[in-house]
Amino acid sequence: MASEKQIALYENFKAINSIEAAEYEQFDVKRGLRNADGTGVVAGLTNIANVHGYVVSDNEKIADEGLLRYRGYDVYDLLDIEAADRRFNYEEVAYLLLMGELPTQEQLDRFVAALDAERELPNGFTASMIMRDTPPDIMNVLARSVLLLYAYDAHAEERSAHHEIATAISLISRLPRIMVLTYYAKRARYNNESMIMHRFIPGQSTAETILSMLRPDRQFTADEARMLDIMLCLHAEHGGGNNSTFTTRVLTSADTDPYSTYAGAIGSLKGRKHGGANHQVLAMQEEIKRNVKQWDNDDEVAAYLAKIVNKEAFDKTGLVYGMGHAVYTKSDPRSVICKKYAEKLAVGTEYEAEFNLLKSIERLAPEVIVREKGTGKDMCANVDMYSGFVYSMLGIPEDLFTPLFACARMSGWAAHRFEEIVSGKRIIRPAYKSVRKGKRAYVSMSER
């Protein structure tokens, strides 16, 4: 770029924007809104979800088994693998998050009918907004599509509860369809492959709709649809402190429109430290599979994990992706459930050996980290340890891993926006301490 030779910022970017770490300590700045022990700074209250992974006693953080509750209901109960009447849960979970209570069958049927009625996109939207100038990342198209749907809403600037609910239901319904259409538009533009545009089938669950639209022959098994449904449920909500939900809260507090809010949340979720982390997990696992000859040999697996921890392998950061979480210490309920269902699908198939390798990584990584670094903290597998593996078993391409997360989380974002509108009342505006000393004297252009 010609500007690189003309603008000094290209060369001095780091120097201009650096602040010494000691100054953060001096002014007790909680970077990342985290306390010194890693606990989150309390920034709000919520009735929507409880994410629990530790207890604080006598100012000491103590590890505890992970709990995840939606509106007070334990996620283990909501997704009971043995319950015969629990074939599909995502719509029930979305209803719970939005309405605050579990639905009766009649209420759930009406909610599903409302979602069905909103799957259609505006006339010409697919050709003009999805297929035109399709970028290489589907998350950007999701954000762009949400912003552009604003133009098709005659009441887009209305802030009534009625409009907020209608907009949320519309986006919960439409995002999965936009995601699949974008995937095929991307394949057509960048890979010169055929673009498949299946119609959605009224009455299908969200998971069924995704698989039916995604697969060329539209075929899938009940177990596959159930597994995808579980993944959608696990990603539907995770408390107000996660980055994309906090983004939703911040934008909502500024009194912007719902489309701008949800587009911002999608942009946050795309981040490699947030929803996009699943790509790093999958890439690391692929490297381990290539370099460990005997997947069932603990010594060989541990030796390669040691190379990763010592910054000698993978991306040289020393991080074992898929391990550790900001809140969970002893266990991540999402990972526990995901692993349980994954095992059910993998046993007796070509995927069983890979599943056993992931279990070994989960089991050995904490030991390796303590041994190689000399220090350690309570660490468990997070949901990304097994989510990519599950999607691979379902034949879902990696391009859709984070977009699927966004489609699922839409219900959680909406619930938090509703709560912020009703209860937040004040624009979120934390303080930043200026560390520049004194006033600088203005120098005229001729004297600079």
Helices then strands, counting H and E runs in the chain, come out as: 19, 3
Give the tokens for residue 145.
């599509």
Contacts of 235 (CB under 8 A, 6+ apart): 334, 383, 404, 405, 408, 409
Residue 18 dihedral angles phi and psi, to the nearest 5°: -85, 140
DSSP strands (E only) in 244-352: none
Residues 6+ apart with CB under 8 A from 186: 134, 136, 138, 141, 399
**Euclidean distance between CA atoms 117 and 347, whole angstroms:** 39
Is the CB of residue 413 less than 8 Å from the CB of residue 247?
no
What phi and psi, each to the nearest 5 degrees, are found at residue 346?
Answer: -85, -35
Q: Are 399 and 179 in contact (CB under 8 A)?
A: no
* Residues noted as catalytic: 325, 384
Cα separation, 203 vs 184, in Å, equals 23
Sign, CA torsion 227/212/120/149: positive
- Residue in the structure block whose two tokens are 């349980």: 340
Quote the CA–CA distance of 413 and 146 in Å, as a whole number.
Answer: 14
Task: State the Cα–Cα distance between residues 86 and 186, nearest whole angstrom.
Answer: 35
User: What CA–CA distance (Å, rounded) separates 61 from 313?
Assistant: 32
The candidate with the shortest Cα–Cα distance to 253, out of 45, 426, 430, 47, is 426
Identify the three-state secondary structure at position 194.
coil
Decide: 321 and 280 in contact? Cβ < 8 Å.
yes
DSSP conformation class of 108 = H
The CA-based diameter of the chain, rounded to the nearest angstrom, is: 81
* Residues 401/235, Cβ–Cβ less than 8 Å: no
